[in-house]
């Protein structure tokens, strides 16, 4: 699957205007997705956010960090997570990241 790098105009049309994925463009142009990704970068075409990744704000931000930590000290991480209706790992991660 080695083919010449597509021109900037083609990539702008497919990626930016038509909103096609890198994988779809690579398949259509019969080249690797890595070649497309490198070409986009070299041409200065900005990457779109990844589709599967959520960029929304954590629902835990509505609680004061001090209150969450106090609750964990009082009743433990498992019980606090259960009371909040979230996964224990999610709470652990949030407390670790928001020191």
Cα–Cα distances in Å, from 39 out to 6, 12, 17, 70? 8, 11, 16, 51
Query: What's the rounded Cα separation, in Å, for the pair 87 and 20?
Result: 35
- Could you tell me the residue ranges of all domains in the chain? 1-53, 59-97
Query: What's the rounded Cα separation, in Å, for the pair 1 and 79?
Result: 54
**pLDDT over threshold 60, residue 59:** yes
Higher pLDDT, 38 or 51: 38
Is-above-0.85 flag for pTM?
no
Cβ atoms within 10 Å, residue 6: 21
Query: What's the rounded Cα separation, in Å, for the pair 38 and 50?
Result: 16
- Among 67, 71, 65, residue whose Cα is nearest residue 97: 65
């Amino acid at each position: 699957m080695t083919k010449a790098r597509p021109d900037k105009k083609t990539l702008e049309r497919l990626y930016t205007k038509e909103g096609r994925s890198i994988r779809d463009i690579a398949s259509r142009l019969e080249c690797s997705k890595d070649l497309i990704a490198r070409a986009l970068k070299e041409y200065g075409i900005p990457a779109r956010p990844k589709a599967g990744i959520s960029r929304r704000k954590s629902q835990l931000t509505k609680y004061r960090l001090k209150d969450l930590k106090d609750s964990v000290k009082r009743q433990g991480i498992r019980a606090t997570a259960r009371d909040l209706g979230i996964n224990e790992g999610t709470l652990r991660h949030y407390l670790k990241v928001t020191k």
